[in-house]
Structure 1
Amino acid sequence: MTLGRTAVVLGGSMAGLSAAGALAPHFDEVLVLERDLLPHDAEHRKGVPQSKHPHFLLNSGRRALGVLFPGFEADLIAAGGMPLIASMDTAHMTDVGWSPRKRGALDMVYGSRLLIERVLRDRVRALGNVTIREGVSVTGIKIDDAGRVTGAKFSGEEVDADLVVDALGRGSKVSDWLVAAGQPEVPVITLDAKVTYVSQWYDLPSAEERADTWWWQHMVIMPTEKKGDHPKEHEYLSNFFPIEGNRSIACMGSWGLDMPHNEEEFIAAANNLQTPKFAAAMEASTPTSEVHLTKSTGNKWRRYDKLPHAPEGVVFIGDSICAFNPFYGQGMSSAALSSVRLSGALQSTTALDPAFYQGFVASQAKEFKVPWSMAMARDRGYDCATGTETVAPWMRKILASVGASMFNLITGAAREDQVVDEHFARVFNLDEPIGTMMRSPRVIFGLLRYKVKDVFGRHKIPFGFDPQLDPPGKDWSVEAGTAVPELEASR
């Protein structure tokens, strides 16, 4: 038994495709309206300019897509996605130098946004009751006299719908259309820390052509927390990010700083980073794209849950309701999690009545609090930040200081404490709120023990390796107590 004849999804990007998977079992037909002509391969398209930058599909998001589309992860890996263990496969550098390499709890499947979306699009196209209308622009929504959304308008056409999903992203006009029809204006909270990031794609040399010291797949250079004079590039967050097809995306980003706009400036900036090894990797590789710059990175949450009554006939997925600073890699996963939540809500109801919509926006708001609080924790610490969620200057200083110190403490303790490492991996992947982690007596003990060891210089694993040298390739898993026995036995 279905809940209606037709559901319409506005937008065919990751959020819209995820939503289509949630809707398909509950409606006779699902219509996805997409402005772009969708490529059959993993190619850039106009409607997703951010595809030119690195994208993380967090474990929680990957599992969510697996719930909606069983076998999704296997499909992603078969298409070229790279399953990696971050602490083993990443050359990670902080203010003190290179971090040690070891086995840890944070695993991921790396790939470009293009690949992830193409694999998901193929799964949606395989659903018999889902139709994707390409090359059409959504121009409005249909609303009856009672204020309920009853369909959509697009490219001179109209379609009736029992349920509409807004997946039009940050620039969605659905909230404006609701107000124009007499609905109350939705409260919006924002915080824009003026993040700008710039990327260029590279073909890598073959494994045989790389030096033995190039053991890593992913290189990360964290922004400095040091005060005083230093090149502005030391405040960049820089990634040499691996994607399918023996390629990487070189990406640099910052909070409130000017960024390079062309290849010459990009190379010059790479040569000013804290280590020469990032620029060396770029030089050893072949650029295959222009330099791409993005500035639309503010956090924005449309609080439909704060309205006296949730809008009826429509739900919101992805950036159309809650958009995050993309530095934190939460967008795709948050959209997938919301789609799973929508699937559960549809499965547990017998009618799309006011209680359904009120319950869904309330439960969705609880879900957003975890990634939103993580974004706020750092972005509120920047003087350049603007929006409704900014704090007083004295609080900004505290947040900037405490945030950096706490991150360094947690990641430092995670090097030698498997419990802290596992909690941190769950927090990173949106599987656990940071508050839950910090209330754990065992985590608190692990952090305190690390601080004591730090004072007396009694760490089991060395760290802070010289940033002017290659990142050290030694595996410290045995010393960290994270070695896999069968692997160790085979050495």
Structure 2
Amino acid sequence: MSGDHMSLGKTVVVLGGSIAGLCAAGALAPHFDEVVVLERDSLPADAEHRRGVPQSKHPHFLLNSGRRAISALFPGFEDDLIAAGGLHLMPSMDAAYLERTGWASRKQSSMTMVYSSRVLIERVLRDKVREVSNVAIREGVSVRGIQTAAGGTAQGKVSGVVFSTAAGDEERIDADLVVDAMGRGSSVSDWLVAAGWPAAPVQALDAKVTYTSRWYDLPAPEARPTSWWWQHLVIMPTQDKGDHPPEHEFLVNFFPIEGGRTIACMGSWGIDMPRTPDDFVASAERIRTPLFAAAMAECEPISDVHLTRSTGNKWRRYDRLPEVPSGIVFIGDAICAFNPFYAQGISSAAGSALTLRSHLQAAADSGRPLDQRFFKRFLAEQRKGLKVPWSMAMARDRGYECATGTETLPAWKRKILASMTWPAFNLITGAAREDAVVDEHFARVFNLDESLGDMMRSPRVLAGLVRFKVNSLLGRNKVPFGFDPQQDPPGTDWTPGVDSQPTEMAGVR
């Protein structure tokens, strides 16, 4: 650690030892004598599920912005994740996508991703944190409250934490800084109100997303069907307005993870999902391609069916309080929780931790105290970072009739949004197939490196979209798509300039 780690104070306490809390500990360690992480669960030595992270049973995409942020906080993280079994893949070559009309064409792109289970990401991160000499993780403790002074006034400050140990003893820690990383169910907002601050306004939108997953052992590589050029299957919801089974509305992943395993996952907006192994298999057989159920049948189930439905988007707007509390920051779901479908949680938590690190560094360099101005500035900067994933989640979830919360739209607006969402998505993904610049911008938006608004303000992107639309109308598209979903996805590499175009175009619409 750098030698300046005493410059901002003696003790900082992080509430919660999951990804957000561990990332925060990495940001804090250079600037305080000791960082104490309080975690309710007993943390497993290996990559195992624990009660405090029920969503660990489902697929977790580690987006590039999150991958970079965690690697900036903990150098070597990505290499360690891959060494522990994470898979470094290029989705456009290693994933088969079933889009609106059929299978997408396979081609090379600039975007790569690391695939692994959530529990492996946490285990590698815990190992990195344990290498930092001034971070201590205390397990099996329950945080009971916070110590405060002058709550709600300009001098209002959080000054410590009260918690009980596994043995039931109550302890207190005085802290120069407290980090709330207690997730979407955090009680800190209630404790602040009890201490005299007004309730922070909350923005919320729950699109009734439910998802259900089951883990499988893949067959050995040599025993897999010859048609399996892919490692990841993605089946998008149908856009067909006619009669079809509810399963056609599902978003489906067959998601590869470490150890020769895969997670079969089905999710939906507002539809009852299967909870038993028999119902899970029966549902899989009604998905709009037979490949998902067929792939599951080649594998050995190794878990029960896991269902999650606490998936609403929720943003606690501490930045809007007339007097923001000093002595506390909020990271991860404790401040802004997202519908997990869009894979934004880990990356935005790691991004917030990186923002915290740069603000602490600036305070250390200038010798400024961690006063109310510091916390106001941090919240304002964090808000900018959270706005990008938040607006992406809103763009989709506001279109659903079943959505509830403060951010719902009047019926007429919702209908317009719902009618525009898919055509816009189809236009962008279609143009990205044929235009490297649109493809690169879309990858940046998907990875939270750019906002959708910025992408749509780029003259070059707009030109690419118009060109694609005109070519489509004239029947001049270069890359075929819409291969028959009842057949296996074709493995041909359609990258421009790669000479493997087949003459056979059967099954293309």
**How does the TM-score come out when normalised to structure 1?**
0.97
1:203 and 2:217 are equivalent in the alignment? yes
Which residue among 46, 62, 68 is the counterpart of 1:57? Answer: 62
1:183 and 2:188 are equivalent in the alignment? no
Q: Superposition pairs for residues 456-471 of structure 1, below 5 Å?
A: 456-471=474-489
CA drift at 1:106 = 2.4
Corresponding residue number in structure 2 for 1:334: 348
Corresponding residue number in structure 1 for 2:280: 266
- Structure 1 window deviating more from structure 2 (422-431 vs 450-459): it is 450-459
C-alpha distance in 2 between matches for 1:348 and 1:454: 51
C-alpha distance in 2 between matches for 1:71 and 1:481: 37
Q: Superposition pairs for residues 179-328 of structure 1, below 5 Å?
A: 179-328=193-342
Q: Superposition pairs for residues 336-375 of structure 1, below 5 Å?
A: 336-349=350-363, 350-375=368-393
CA drift at 1:453 = 1.4
**8 A Cα contact 1:416 1:481, kept in partner:** no
C-alpha distance in 2 between matches for 1:478 and 1:454: 18
Note the aligned Cα RMSD (angstroms): 1.3
Q: Call closer, same or farther: CA 1:321–1:229 in 2, change over 3 Å.
A: same
Name the SS for the 1:159 alignment partner.
strand
Which residue among 156, 161, 185 is the counterpart of 1:147? Answer: 156
C-alpha distance in 1 between matches for 2:323 and 2:61: 35
State the identity as a percent: 68
Q: Superposition pairs for residues 21-170 of structure 1, below 5 Å?
A: 21-145=26-150, 146-155=155-164, 156-170=170-184
**8 A Cα contact 2:492 2:500, kept in partner:** no
C-alpha distance in 2 between matches for 1:45 and 1:481: 49
1:426 and 2:435 are equivalent in the alignment? no
**8 A Cα contact 2:10 2:32, kept in partner:** yes
CA drift at 1:197 = 0.2
Corresponding residue number in structure 1 for 2:505: none
C-alpha distance in 2 between matches for 1:309 and 1:410: 43
Deviations 1:277-330 (A, max 9, x none): 000000000000000000000000000111112111100000000000000000
CA drift at 1:479 = 4.8
CA drift at 1:107 = 1.3
C-alpha distance in 2 between matches for 1:479 and 1:277: 30
CA drift at 1:478 = 3.1
Deviations 1:101-155 (A, max 9, x none): 0001321111000111110010001100000000000010011245310010110
Name the SS for the 1:478 alignment partner.
coil
The amino acid of 2:255's aligned partner reads F
CA drift at 1:95 = 2.3
CA drift at 1:397 = 1.1
Name the SS for the 1:315 alignment partner.
strand
Deviations 1:422-479 (A, max 9, x none): 0000000000011111011111111111111111211111110011111111111135
C-alpha distance in 2 between matches for 1:188 and 1:439: 29
Which residue among 362, 381, 385 is the counterpart of 2:403? Answer: 385
Which consecutive residues of structure 2, in runs of 5 or more, have no partner in the other structure?
Answer: 165-169, 502-509
Name the SS for the 2:62 alignment partner.
coil
Q: Call closer, same or farther: CA 1:333–1:480 in 2, change over 3 Å.
A: farther
**How does the TM-score come out when normalised to structure 2?**
0.94
**8 A Cα contact 1:417 1:480, kept in partner:** no
CA drift at 1:212 = 1.4
C-alpha distance in 2 between matches for 1:322 and 1:402: 26
